[in-house]
Structure 1
Amino acid sequence: MKEIFHVTDPEALKSLAIPERVKIIELFEDLEPRTAKQIATELGENAARLHYHVKELVRVGLLEQVDTRVKGSIVEKYYQPVAKVIQVNLQLMIEENAHQISDILFTPLRTTEQDLVRTLNRFVSSDADVRKDYQDTFALNVSEFYLTKEERNQLVDELNAIIRKYKDLKNTDGRRKFKYFNILFPLSPPDPVENDDSFVDADDQEE
C-alpha cells in the first residue's frame, strides 16, 4: 500500500462526493483488507448495493483488490484503499466542476458529524459507570495560523507523517477506534501579484 495517493482523475473525484463511498474508504482506517460482504455488514448496508459502490471505487482507482481466497465454492475478493492517505488537489476540483467543490469537501464533514452525534447520544444515554470510560477520549482543536505557502506545505507534511504513524497501529486489546478529522483552508485571499493590472484597490478607484 502506498503512503499517499493524489487524486488526479475526475471520475475518482466524483466518487468522493458520494457519502456511501466515503464511508467505505473511512472504514479502512485500520488498514485491514475486507470483502464487499464484510464492508456491507460493518456499515449495515445492503450487500448488493454496497458491492456496486466497491466496484466503482475499484474502477476509479481508489480501492484495489489485494487478495483472493477460496472457501469451498466461494471466491472471496479482499479490498484495500490504494494508499494510507488520499489527497485531493483543489485545483482539479475547480477545473473539473466548480459547483461540486462543496459536495466533495462537505461529504466527509457530514459523515463525521453523524458519527459524532451517534457517539454523543451513546454517551448521554449511558449510566455513570459507562460514562467514565469516555473520560479523556474527546479532543478538540480549532486554530488559526499565518503561514507562507512553504510553511503551509510543511505543516501538512508533518501532520500526514503523524497520521501515518498511528494508522499503522492494529486493532488489539486496549485500543479503541477513534476518528480524527482535520481541514486546513485559507481565511484571507492571496496577496495581489505585483504589477497585476487586474487588481485595483478600492481607494484608487475613481468616483
Structure 2
Amino acid sequence: MKDILVLRELEQIKAISHPYRVEVFECFESDQPQSAKQIAEKLGEPHAKVNYHIKSLLKVGILELVDERVKSGIIEKYYLPAAKALVIDKSFVQNADDDMVQTMNQASISFFEKISEDYYRAAENPLQYRKYINHLNEYYLTHDEVKDIMEKVDVYIHELIKDKKDKTRKDVHPYNIAILGIPIVKPKKRG
C-alpha cells in the first residue's frame, strides 16, 4: 500500500465525494485486508450497501482487490486501499472547470460531514473522551499563505504521529485530527 494516492481523474474524485464512501474508506484502519462483510459489520450497515460502494471505489482504483477466499462454498473478496491517504492533484485543481469545482466542493463537504459526525459522537460522551479544539478566527491571508500554513502543519503533524498506529499501546484511544483552512463567506443580505 502506498502512503499517498494522487487523484488525477474526475471519476476518482466523484467516487470519494460521496460521504458514505469516505466512511467505507476510513474503515480500513490497518494494513489488514477486509471483506465487504467485515466493513458492513463495523458500520452496522447491510452487506449489499457496503458492497456497492466498495465496487465504486474499486472501479476507480481507490480500493484494490488483494485476496479471494472460499468460505462455506462462497468466494469472499478482501480489499485494501490503494494508499493510506488521498490527495487531489494540484494541477488538476488549478485547471478545474465548474463541474470539477462542484465535485471538489462535494468531496470537501463529505470529509467535513465525517469529521462533524465524529465530533458530535464524541461530544455526546463528554467523560469518555477528551476533545482538543484550537480555533483561530478571522485572519486575513492570501490563498498562498493559507496553503503554506496547511502544508507546514501537515508535515509537522505527520512527523508527530508517524509511529502512532499501534492500538496495543497503553491508554490509547482513536482520534481524528482535522486541520481546516476555511474562507469566511459572509451571508448575502436579504433584499
Same fold (TM over 0.5): yes
Question: CA–CA distance in 1 between the matches of 2:104 and 2:151?
Answer: 24
Opposite residue 176 of structure 1, the aligned amino acid is H
1:142 lines up with 2:135 in the alignment: yes
Question: CA–CA distance in 2 between the matches of 1:99 and 1:24?
Answer: 22
Counterpart secondary structure, 2:21: helix
Are the aligned partners of 1:30 and 1:170 in contact in 2 as well (CA < 8 Å)?
Answer: no
Question: CA–CA distance in 2 between the matches of 1:149 and 1:181?
Answer: 15
Q: Give how far 1:68 is off.
A: 2.4
Counterpart secondary structure, 1:29: coil
What residue in structure 2 maps to residue 105 of structure 1?
108
Counterpart secondary structure, 2:13: helix
1:177 lines up with 2:174 in the alignment: yes
What residue in structure 1 maps to residue 189 of structure 2?
none
Opposite residue 45 of structure 1, the aligned amino acid is E
What residue in structure 1 maps to residue 64 of structure 2?
64
Which structure 2 residue ranges, 5 or more long, are not aligned?
185-191
Cα 1:160–1:4 shift into 2, 3 Å: farther
What residue in structure 2 maps to residue 116 of structure 1?
119
Are the aligned partners of 2:13 and 2:104 in contact in 1 as well (CA < 8 Å)?
Answer: no
Which structure 1 residue ranges, 5 or more long, are not aligned?
124-130, 188-207
Structure with max Cα Rg: 1
Q: Give how far 1:62 is off.
A: 0.5
Aligned length: 176
Give me the TM-score of the superposition, normalised by structure 1. 0.71
The sequence identity of aligned pairs, in percent, is: 30
Q: Which moved more, 1:146-155 or 1:17-26?
A: 146-155
1:161 lines up with 2:149 in the alignment: no
Q: Give how far 1:170 is off.
A: 3.1
Question: CA–CA distance in 2 between the matches of 1:68 and 1:74?
Answer: 10
Opposite residue 179 of structure 2, the aligned amino acid is N
Q: Which string of whole-angstrom CA distances, capped at 9 and with x for unpartnered residues, describes residues 93-112 of structure 1?
A: 52352223321111110121
What residue in structure 2 maps to residue 6 of structure 1?
6
Opposite residue 20 of structure 2, the aligned amino acid is E
Question: CA–CA distance in 1 between the matches of 2:81 and 2:153?
Answer: 21
